[in-house]
Amino acid sequence: MKILISLSSILLGTALKELLEREDQECQLFVSTDFSPLEAFCPNFVIADCHSLRREAPVSDPEIKVLLIDYGLGEEEITSLLLSHKIDGVLAKDSDLSHFKKAVQAISEGQVWIDNRKVKALIHYAESVRSPGADASFSRKEREIVILISQGLMNREIADRLCISEQTVKTHISRIFRKVNVSRRSQLVPLALKLLMPEGQ
């Protein structure tokens, strides 16, 4: 297996590499603070943190598995990362080596790995949008804007993506805020998660 360790701290990345090399000599590991060696190294796995993910374009190759190391991120930030990147697993930073190996094995077999405590927190967080006004009907454009906001895009970027004016984006956002009775963009993240859920879940 070829693993790219792309953490914002080169020291942490190197320490993880040494730990994994002691455990499995057949594993090929490469440490970087960004995804630049992705093309040359051609990994099966990328181990990343929120900082390296935020700096890079999402991994587009469906064959490459992405494992996010959670340094104690809030549900809002993890949800935003799950919506904007292809992440196959989330592992707490204090997980031991056996837990790490189970996660890698499960992800290799096509499963999604998220710590049980984090799953419960994410479900509770998604449910938190079930407040008065949260089930308001949204137009297709409003749904698209909510999802793009949750991915961290700014008004100009949303306008470019949807081929509309920035002023139109602002008008849509004001309408969305009124419908769900919120005042901050970050409060739309759980709503985006709900909009992406299949009906009945």
Over residues 166-187, the pLDDT tens digits come to 999 999 999 999 988 888 887 7
Give the pLDDT band of residue 68 (cuts 50, 70, 90).
Answer: very high
Model confidence pLDDT, tens digit, residues 108-119: 888 888 877 777
Please give the Cα distance from 138 to 159 (Å, whole number): 18
> Which residues are within 8 A (CB) of 192 and not within 5 positions of it... i.e. 6 or more apart?
79, 83, 146, 147, 149, 150, 151
Please give the Cα distance from 103 to 38 (Å, whole number): 21
HEC per residue, the chain: CEEEEECCCHHHHHHHHHHHHHHCCCCEEEEECCCCCHHHHCCCEEEECHHHHHHCCCCCCCCCEEEEEECCCCHHHHHHHHHHCCCCEEEECCCCHHHHHHHHHHHHCCCCEECHHHHHHHHHHHHCCCCCCCCCCCCHHHHHHHHHHHCCCCHHHHHHHHCCCHHHHHHHHHHHHHHHCCCCHHHHHHHHHHHHCCCCC
Whole-number average pLDDT of the chain: 83
CATH of domain 2-126: 3.40.50.2300
Parts of the chain belonging to CATH 1.10.10.10: 140-196
Strand 45-48 relative to strand 89-92, pairing? unpaired
Model confidence pLDDT, tens digit, residues 134-165: 456 889 899 899 888 877 788 999 999 999 99
Parts of the chain belonging to CATH 3.40.50.2300: 2-126
CATH classification of 140-196, choosing from 3.30.365.10, 3.40.50.300, 3.30.300.30, 1.10.10.10? Answer: 1.10.10.10
